[in-house]
Amino acid sequence: MRRLINLLVTAVAVVLAAFLLPGIHVDGFMTAIIVAIALAFLNAFIKPILTILTIPITVITIGLFLLVINAAMVSLAGWMISGFDVDGFWWALLFGIIVSIVSFIFKDKE
């Protein structure tokens, strides 16, 4: 049940971020749910690999390179999902920051 709530919170965060950022386009709430599922999948399987491969760069940038990896995950989701468009790297970066903040605030933390 907690995972379903977290997924819905992430979908709402996706819609909110798309509303706030003109460079992000989401066709509807169902697309936002699919984006939330895709981001969960990418963050569970692809992001750890990229994080391990880029440890030296992450250490040199004091962790800021993880924002670049986040933006890459958002851009990859935009490429994979029709109905979810990301206009560029900076929009993906801002989108990732907004979704992370909203998700952190409202997700179930049990």
pLDDT tens digit at each of 110 positions of the chain: 888 999 999 999 999 999 999 999 999 999 999 999 999 999 999 999 999 999 999 999 999 999 999 999 999 999 999 999 999 999 999 999 999 999 889 876 66
In this structure, what are the phi and psi dihedrals at residue 22, rounded to the nearest 5 degrees? -70, -15
All structural domains of the chain with their residue ranges: 2-106
Kindly list the distances between the CA atom of residue 10 and the CA atoms of 38, 75, 76, 94, in Å, as whole numbers in the listed order: 11, 16, 17, 15
